Each structure stands twice: as C-alpha cells, then as structure tokens.
Amino acid sequence: MEGVGWISWIIIGIIAGWIAEKVMDRSHGLFTNFLVGVIGAVLGGWLARTVGIEVAPGWIGSLIVATIGAIILLFLLGVFFRKR
C-alpha cells in the first residue's frame, strides 16, 4: 500500500476486511477482518502488478486493491476449506 503510513495501513486493512466480510456474507471479528484485509492487500497488490494494472497511490487506490484481494482470499478459503 503505497502512499499511506502505518496507521492508515491498519485502518485500510480493517475496512477492506470488513467490506470483504459483508460481500462474502461471513462473520468475523475485528482482528480477523484486519488479517484478511492486510493479506488481501498483499494478494491484490501482487495480482494488480502481475496483470499490469496501475493503481493510484493513497487511500482510495489502496482500499480498492485491498478489498478486491480480501474478497478473492475469502473466496479461495471458502473453496478449499468448505465444510462438508
């Protein structure tokens, strides 16, 4: 997440995790939302670079990438760890 500080990084991670939680119809706590958001930000940033998408630095670009990455992360976790 370029262009943001550590506090912003934490806040963006929590918000992205919360948005992904709502989109994927899951129920997590604050810490899990933070983890999902931060891991999603790393995943989303990697995917954006791999595909060649240029993301604007700052809050909005970081939040969008982190949220998309978090949604993909929750989807993949649901696929691999689905309760049977």
DSSP for the chain, please give it: -TT--HHHHHHHHHHHHHHHHHHTT----HHHHHHHHHHHHHHHHHHHHHHT----SSHHHHHHHHHHHHHHHHHHHHHHT---
1 within domain boundaries: no
Q: Give the range of the structural domain holding residue 59, as residue numbers without chain letter.
A: 6-79
Q: Please state the domain count of the chain.
A: 1
The pLDDT tens digits for 63-76 are 999 999 999 999 99
The answer to the question of residue 58 being in a domain is yes
| pLDDT tops 90 at residue 24 | yes
Q: Is residue 84 part of a domain?
A: no
Q: Does 50 map to a domain?
A: yes
- What pLDDT is stored for residue 3 in this prediction? 62
Q: Is residue 34 part of a domain?
A: yes
Q: For residue range 30-72, what is the model confidence (pLDDT) as tens digits? A: 899 999 999 999 999 899 999 999 888 788 988 999 999 999 9
Task: Give the pLDDT score at 8.
Answer: 85
